[in-house]
Structure 1
Amino acid sequence: MTFSSPAGSSRLTRRGVLAAFAATAVTAAPAQAGLFGFLRGGGDVRRIRMYSGRTGESIDMIYWVDGKYVKPALEEISHFMRDWRDNATRPIDTRTIDIMAASHALMDVDEPYLLLSGYRTPHTNAMLRSRSGGAARNSLHMKGQAADLRLKSRSVKQMAAAAQACSAGGVGKYYRSNFVHMDCGPTRSWTG
């Protein structure tokens, strides 16, 4: 588990120790067979890797082990995906985290996601709507159920195809801004 601040310092807490223990399961876990089963509970571990250009933070977290979510890991993920403008946190829906992790695994990349937007306060969402009109009035970002993500090594089309293969939520393709929106709402897709 890695959660580092912009200065590169690591926090060693009870959560960190638990997550580090969970991370050791990665080396012993068999390769995932059938990634669709991964989304529905197959496999021994689930992992998410992201960094934020806005905060300078990065996260590499095992958040699910042997059929159970690791609560401290979910708390760390929620903190990482906070609204950086208002420094506000809301629990991120585990279904969204699962979609992100399964999509990442389907793309078979080592590169972490660049998180552009996770949780958004109503204030931040309203500000984004007023500036560009691209944010939905009732955005799932405000419920902790959506993420806007980018990978340097994969195109918007490739990322969207991986997310759509999960058949488990909304997928928005934003070619001009070079990111993909993933959420755990109704299964649908669009181009923004």
Structure 2
Amino acid sequence: MPHRILQNRRTFIKTLAGTAAGLAGSGAIGAPLIKNPGLERKLTLNNMHTGEKMTAVYWADGHYMPQVLQEVDHLLRDHRTGTSIQMDRQLFDLLYLLQRDVGLHKEFQVISGYRSPETNEKLRKQGQGVAKKSYHMQGKAIDIRVPGIALRDVQRMALKMKAGGVGFYSRSNFLHVDVGPVRHWG
């Protein structure tokens, strides 16, 4: 059994390195994260606050799928107010790349997707370390965890992508990723 775990870890690290190498140099914010437009892109999401789960192909035949994207936007809504916005499509591509590397059968447990300005301010006043101009309010950020994968491993993978912000929250057991400027904390 220990050999199998070590082998899976090695495979994971090799896959991570390959993805990082493929993304290196994409550089500018707004540049496509995925170079091959022909690839079908699928996400598996589980909203931890609403209990909603979804596995959906959001990109096929070289195009985003509008109806599916609306469903994903709804799943990622502010669970406190029920409001949703159109999430940044590059955030989905970032998640797709992360999910591909941890295994397509793995889901993202969503802690927070979109956050309304009202919710953001309420959380700030509660002293929860929430940024005043959070990327969550712009639909450019998501807080996640992946069952069965160490949070530090997902963090390393996200950092190597250099595709935006990566925040590690060990006490709350989640990882923040966004498609803003490249930076990290935690």
Contact map agreement 1:100 1:163 (CA 8 A) in 2: no
Give the aligned partner of residue 40 of structure 1: 34
Give the aligned partner of residue 116 of structure 1: 111
- Aligned equivalent of 2:53, options 54, 58, 61: 58
Give the aligned partner of residue 86 of structure 2: 91
Give the aligned partner of residue 28 of structure 1: none
Query: TM-score normalised to the size of structure 1?
Result: 0.77
- Aligned equivalent of 1:130, options 119, 125, 134: 125
Distance 1:171 1:163 in 2: 7
The offset of 1:166, in angstroms, is 2.0
Give the aligned partner of residue 185 of structure 2: 190
Contact map agreement 1:47 1:60 (CA 8 A) in 2: yes
- Aligned equivalent of 2:157, options 141, 159, 162: 162
Distance 2:44 2:56 in 1: 6
Which amino acid is the alignment partner of residue 180 of structure 1? L
Give the aligned partner of residue 105 of structure 1: 100
What are the ranges of 5 or more consecutive residues in structure 1 without an aligned counterpart? 1-33
**Regions of 4+ moved over 3 Å:** 34-39
Distance 2:33 2:141 in 1: 16
Q: Say what the alpha-carbon RMSD is for the aligned residues.
A: 1.6
Distance 1:49 1:91 in 2: 18
Give the aligned partner of residue 12 of structure 2: none
- Aligned equivalent of 1:82, options 57, 77, 83: 77
Contact map agreement 2:57 2:68 (CA 8 A) in 1: yes
Give the aligned partner of residue 67 of structure 1: 62
Distance 1:44 1:110 in 2: 17
Give the aligned partner of residue 179 of structure 1: 174
The offset of 1:65, in angstroms, is 1.1
Give the aligned partner of residue 152 of structure 1: 147
Name which structure has the greater RCO, CA cutoff 8 Å, separation 6+.
Answer: 2
> Tell me, what secondary structure is at the counterpart of 2:126?
helix
Seq. identity, %: 35
The offset of 1:156, in angstroms, is 1.7
Q: Provide Cα deviations, 1:137-173, integer angstroms capped at 9, x if missing partner.
A: 0000000000000122112211111212222111111
The offset of 1:81, in angstroms, is 0.2
Give the aligned partner of residue 10 of structure 2: none
Contact map agreement 1:113 1:149 (CA 8 A) in 2: yes
Which amino acid is the alignment partner of residue 45 of structure 1? E
Contact map agreement 2:141 2:178 (CA 8 A) in 1: yes
